[in-house]
Amino acid sequence: MLEILLSLFISAAAAQGSELPTPPCDTRSDFKGTTHARLGRLKGTASMVQPLRCSGAFVTFADRGDSSRGLVLTSGHCAGQGAVKMPGKAGTVISFPDIGEVLVRVADKRWLTLETGQSEEPRVCVQSEEIVFATLTDIDMMILQLAETYEQIESRTGLKPLVVSRDTSFQNGLDVRAPSSLFQVADQCQVEATVDKVKEDRWLWGPVIRLSRDCSLLPHGASGAPVVRLDTTEVIGVFGTSSDADGPPCDFNNPCEIGSDGTARPGNKEQGYAHFVHKLYTCLDPGRNIDLSVPGCLLRKPQR
């Protein structure tokens, strides 16, 4: 259906003999018509500007069928829905899931930009149809389901999804990349350490991947960027937060690490943290769809 709509969108403009209307997502690229290395490094990443400016990744699970709906992995706080209300810019209010709140199969229509890695058309638009899963409890993560299948997206863009890793731990010093479609950067860094607990405002997460500073020099909007290991290109984590170091430890935008004795260690300025993604595999049904009722599912369930 989305392919048909996009085709009609283009045909109507051509019939009027005018320039194409503004696309529903940001398709501008400094790399169009080039062979810049960043085309490949950004390939498979995603971005959005509504309801929040966030990054993400076009992903699949091992053995998930090409006829299945496409998925985008990003941060839970990018949902734009939830019980927590915080002031935004220009008098706006931003919504986040509260402690214990889990969004499951919630209708969600937003336009996203996908990075194709193709010189002639580096960026294309796709639309979501629902939030499959989103939470800020234990982990800051969201899975969006797209209106198109993997086959449909590959047919019109040539793009295949990145594969989510099943690995549960990673050696310190592992070379990774945290590409942000929103900022058109693909910084390389290392896994610095695994941290038991990280706290920011009311939310407590863990375990969490601490990244070396090379991947943390990103402004707000990098949230949701995939952490991709260089040797396998699998997605091992999703970028969640970094410290502004401009407020009390553990405050909003100032995450802190919580030690085994309960003491809080403030994050260094621009220290970045990412969330593990392997628990998604514990919640897959036989069709490789997320189902929180699967026995042994380790993702947080909605409160009854």
pLDDT (mean) for 19-37 = 88
Task: Assign residue 173 a region (left: φ > 0; alpha: ψ between -120 and 50; beta: otherwise).
Answer: left
**CB of 203 closer than 8 Å to CB of 136:** yes
The residues pairing with 228 across neighbouring beta strands, listed in sequence order, are 177, 235
Question: What pLDDT is stored for residue 268 in this prediction?
Answer: 86
**Comparing C-alpha atoms, which of 296, 292, 232, 273 is closest to residue 77?**
273
Spell out a b/e string for 83-99, using b for 16 or more CB atoms within 10 Å of the CB, else e: ebeeeeeeeeeebbbbe
CA–CA distance, 199 with 14 (Å, rounded to integer): 53
Q: What is the mean pLDDT of residues 155-173?
A: 97
Average pLDDT, the chain: 91
Both structure tokens of 82: 């939830």
Is the pLDDT score of 117 beyond 80?
yes
Per residue in 210-246, pLDDT (tens digit) is 999 887 666 677 999 999 999 999 999 999 999 888 8
pTM equals: 0.91
Domains of the chain in sequence order: 26-161 (2.40.10), 175-278 (2.40.10.10)
Please list, in sequence order, all residues whose beta carbon lies within 8 angstroms of the beta carbon of residue 271, skipping any fewer than 6 positions away. Answer: 210, 213, 216, 242, 243, 255
Q: Which residues pair with 227 in a beta bridge?
A: 237
pLDDT at 20: 55
CA–CA distance, 72 with 69 (Å, rounded to integer) = 10
Query: Mind giving me the DSSP string for 71-113?
Result: EEEE-GGGS--SSEEEE-GGG-EEEE--TT-EEEEEE---EEE
pLDDT tens for 174-216 read: 999 999 999 999 989 999 999 999 999 999 999 999 999 887 6
pLDDT for 91: 85
Which helix or strand (DSSP H or E) is residue 47 part of? Answer: strand 45-48
Among candidate residues 45, 85, 29, the one with its CA nearest the CA of residue 221: 45
Element counts in the chain: helices (H) and strands (E): 3, 20
Q: How far is CA 238 from the centre of its chain?
A: 6
Q: What are phi and psi of 98, to 5 degrees?
A: -80, 175
